[in-house]
A and B are shown apart, each in its own frame.
Chain A
Amino acid sequence: MAKIAIITDSNSGLSQEEAKELGVFMIPMPFEIDGKEYLDGINLERDAFYEFQTNDSEIFTSQPAPQTVMDLWDEVLKEYDEIIHIPMSSGLSSSLQTAKMLADDYDGKVYAVDNQRISVTMVDSIVDAMYLRDKGLSAKEIGERLESEGLNSSIYITLDTLKYLKKGGRITPAAAAIGTLLKIKPVLQIQGEKLDAFAKVRTMSAAKSIMVNAVKSDVAGRISENGKYKYVINIAHTNNLEAAQEFEKEIRLAIPEYKGEIRIMELSLSVTCHIGPGALALAVSRVVE
């Protein structure tokens, strides 16, 4: 049986340690902050990132240098036969495009997966990949399966502030002004390539109930078809752990039929960059079986 390595990048939101624990390799995403280059999780920790952000530093994201990617692949292929490479959603970054192009030179040994995921649901797909690998599938088979399952997931994120959406040009200054005046909290949905406004409310309790109801309806509908498929629910946040833990208790009450684990993790810095601290997210993915 071929020995298959799983590689992802830090858009999964995993820390280097967590990645090691899972037995996957992880490429750190580069950030340019106030003109200086940093690597996510290497010389840029979360707390430092939040501090840069609150201090209004100029933050830019970019994709990993091709050389970094190829160096890792070359290194990994000394020990493994094949690589399943899971970068962040092609809708949100061109990392996938680059990886695909680079993989052409690796004689089918590297499969770059285009499964439109990021953050928590990207982690779910890594778990899926591990499961499929243990079942004995090849890198190509795993990749194709992940791609066909890619859209069976959703993330709903409630933002605490409009400041960073405005900064990133995602909303107009006028919309940001009235939104800030009235303390509007947008609920965004990441689904496939799209990052869209899903709802807008004024209170966290209204936002939470919208996220819970959205996940419930996803479960009843396309993701699990009323329990026909196994699913996993996760919580994510940006510098908002206490609220996330509180939210977990509320979800247990609101969705008692879900008995599985609820992972609580921080959203990746690449997402944090656009939404700022204080956000709370709820995610659901179908589990591959």
Chain B
Amino acid sequence: MPANVLDSKLVAKMFLAGAKNLESKKEYINELNVFPVPDGDTGTNMTMTIMSAANEVSGLVDGDMVTICKAISSGSLRGARGNSGVILSQLLRGFTKVIKEYDELDVAIVSAGFDKAVETAYKAVMKPKEGTILTVAKGMADKAGELFENGEEDLNVFFEKVIAYGNEVLQKTPDMLPVLKEAGVVDSGGQGLMEVVQGAYDAYLGKEIEFTANPGAATAPRKLNVEPQVEQDIKFGYCTEFIILLDGKIFNVKMEDDFKSYLESLGDSIVVVADDDVVKVHVHTNDPGLAIQRALKYGQLSNLKIDNMRLEHQEKVIKENERAEAVAKTAEPKKPVGFISVSAGDGLSEIFKNLGVDYLIEGGQTMNPSTEDMLNAIDAINAETIYILPNNKNIVMAANQAADLTEDKHVVVIPTKTVPQGISALIGFIPEASEEENVDGMKEAIDNVKTGQVTYAVRDTVIEGMEIHEGDYMGIGDKGILANGLDITEVTMQMIAKMTDDDTEIISIYYGADVSEDDAEAMRAAVEKEYPKCDVDLQAGGQPVYYYIISAE
């Protein structure tokens, strides 16, 4: 007989199981994305969001309800990536807000938690859409409320019925959102949520699950403040810290991820922070030599420090260093404004830097940065007011969440949804003008630019009446697919035709990493020929995945 109340231990166990189950279904959920673009995927985003929380919870399985809830809430808020990740984090935040008040949960409390979760998540979305993860969550909350009011007291029956109803609602999402129906899929975010709930239910039933969460790529610097470990718990004995001096050498996000995964194979408590010309590294491992050898590939090492943790508990050295650094940083006078921008590709990064961006978060198209990445960027800029340009519609919410979580600085999110919008917004910024004038001016600039992006389809689908085959080129505009086909030039030209009118003056082409300069020049020539009255501008963007990012204004 499964328990009829949930204590903190069981809640932690269920949460970890839910996270684990979501992670195992990640690829399947990615496949459900409506837009068949090689883009930041729902499954990946939700998994990284929940894993960030799971990492915090896994160190605390014996904690009380308040501790567990805090870890779930803050871990997922910080780790939130992509819109579905942000919504998931808000659901968890709302849910834990209710249950943290109790040591043991019954049907009434869980049902109230569901209600609060849904309420919180709806609030976080500017224009809630039905047929999404929100609808699925709401369906479950409604069912939970109904069961409670009808006097259901058996937690097992309650869970079973709620989940069954959630799945029912999920199956109906294609009827609510035509794009889903056309593509022949259920909503991916809703599916992700059901995986979490299902995993939690399995744990409740006592099915075998693994306790330790896989740290994955969600590991981030802030994770350092883990609880002090007692000696017999120490799995990896040497706390190893050092700094890599890059000396101008490149250390990009890919290398950082590679290096992190390597360290993950050696131990835990991994921190890799790249900052200007240095990379700070921290790992707990039984073989510090391997970590050091690998790091030498990236540059010279300095400030090496290896402690045997089994002999002495020296945990928070880096944290203290960072605190000291933070103090030193804030001692300098703050500048009035700073800019954070998200982009991928050397060329685009260079443009953003030259336009005055202080901190560039690499990513956007293939990897949506998390709220945590934004918070780190905000931390790194010593300015009174910080503007964030997300440059991707799937990152705007994470940026808003970071703004909400920041207390010591004024953060303004300019909701740029494409790279050209970000560029135009930055151009429109006038240092002498007031914040209000600048926000208006930048939003106006966003409205004045049309964006089209050329990429390829990762699978067959039907969208907006267009039949799309895997490998097709697609031209995607601000409001949907503008063109598709087998010839990249044709697709691009068709797309531009739909973006331009008689008033168009400038067509800017940013070509991606997978396009040769010659091909790009040929494209420019073709566009110039077609639009003799327009200025046609070609820049090496260097972005992955998107062959061409084009703006018309």
Contacts and interface: CB of A to CB of B under 8 A. Distances in A.
Interface of A: 174, 177-178, 181-184, 196-206
Among B351, B431, B448, B539, the one with the most A-chain Cβ atoms within 10 Å of its Cβ is B448
23 contacts: A174-B354, A177-B354, A178-B351, A178-B354, A181-B351, A181-B354, A182-B351, A182-B423, A183-B535, A198-B430, A199-B428, A199-B441, A200-B428, A200-B429, A201-B428, A201-B448, A202-B424, A202-B505, A203-B448, A203-B505, A204-B505, A205-B503, A206-B553
B3 interface: no
A199 B351 contact: no
B355 interface: yes
Interface string B413-444: 00000000001100111111000000001000
Among A183, A198, A201, A202, the one with the most B-chain Cβ atoms within 10 Å of its Cβ is A202
B445 interface: yes
B352 to A, nearest CB: 10
B432 A197 contact: yes
B545 interface: no
B448 A206 contact: yes
Among A174, A198, A201, A206, the one with the most B-chain Cβ atoms within 10 Å of its Cβ is A206
A262 B209 CA distance: 80
Contacts of A206: 445, 448, 553
A274 to B, nearest CB: 18
Interface in B386-432: 423-424, 427-432
B430 A183 contact: no
B296 to A, nearest CB: 36
B506 interface: yes
Among A177, A200, A203, the one with the most B-chain Cβ atoms within 10 Å of its Cβ is A203
B430 A203 contact: no
Given A202-B424, A205-B505, 5 more contacts: A182-B427, A201-B445, A201-B448, A203-B506, A203-B553
A26 B553 CA distance: 44
For the complex of A and B, list the 6 residue pairs with the smallest distance between their C-beta atoms, beginning with the closest.
Answer: A178-B354, A203-B505, A200-B427, A197-B430, A206-B448, A203-B553
Looking at chain B's contact residues, the main secondary structure is: mixed
A182 B428 CA distance: 12
A206 B445 CA distance: 9
A206 B444 CA distance: 10
Contacts of B539: 181
Contacts of A200: 427-430
A244 B354 CA distance: 33
Among A177, A183, A199, the one with the most B-chain Cβ atoms within 10 Å of its Cβ is A199
Nearest to B431: A197
A178 B505 contact: no
How big is the B interface, by class? 20 to 34
Contacts of B506: 183, 202-203
Contacts of B351: 178, 181-182
Contacts of B508: 182
Nearest to B353: A178
A203 B432 CA distance: 22
B448 A199 contact: no
B421 to A, nearest CB: 12
Looking at chain A's contact residues, the main secondary structure is: mixed
Nearest to B423: A182
A127 B445 CA distance: 38
Interface in B500-553: 503, 505-506, 508, 535, 537, 539, 553
Nearest to B447: A206
A203 B537 CA distance: 13
B418 to A, nearest CB: 15
A205 B444 CA distance: 13
A183 B537 contact: yes
Contacts of B428: 199-201
Contacts of A199: 428, 430, 441
Contacts of A203: 448, 505-506, 553
A196 B428 CA distance: 14
A178 B537 contact: no
A172 to B, nearest CB: 11
B527 to A, nearest CB: 15
A288 B227 CA distance: 76
A201 to B, nearest CB: 7
A183 B424 CA distance: 11
A247 to B, nearest CB: 15
Contacts of B535: 183
A260 to B, nearest CB: 28
A184 B553 contact: no
Contacts of B432: 196-197
B355 to A, nearest CB: 6
B473 to A, nearest CB: 27
A196 B432 CA distance: 8
A182 B538 CA distance: 10
A202 B426 CA distance: 11
A204 B351 CA distance: 22
Contacts of B505: 202-205
Contacts of A204: 505
A203 B505 CA distance: 6
A201 B425 CA distance: 9
A177 B424 CA distance: 16
A178 B445 contact: no
A202 B430 contact: no
A254 to B, nearest CB: 14
Nearest to B448: A206
Interface string B357-399: 0000000000000000000000000000000000000000000
B426 to A, nearest CB: 9
Contacts of B503: 205
A98 B506 CA distance: 47
Contacts of A201: 427-428, 445, 448
A7 to B, nearest CB: 35
Contacts of A174: 354
Contacts of A202: 424, 427, 505-506, 553
Contacts of B553: 202-203, 206
A181 B354 CA distance: 10
B171 to A, nearest CB: 48
B539 to A, nearest CB: 8
A17 to B, nearest CB: 36
B194 to A, nearest CB: 46
A197 B438 CA distance: 12
Contacts of A181: 351, 354, 539
Among A184, A197, A200, the one with the most B-chain Cβ atoms within 10 Å of its Cβ is A200
Contacts of A183: 506, 535, 537
Contacts of A198: 430
A136 to B, nearest CB: 43
A258 B427 CA distance: 32
A283 to B, nearest CB: 20
A184 B448 contact: no
A177 B431 CA distance: 18
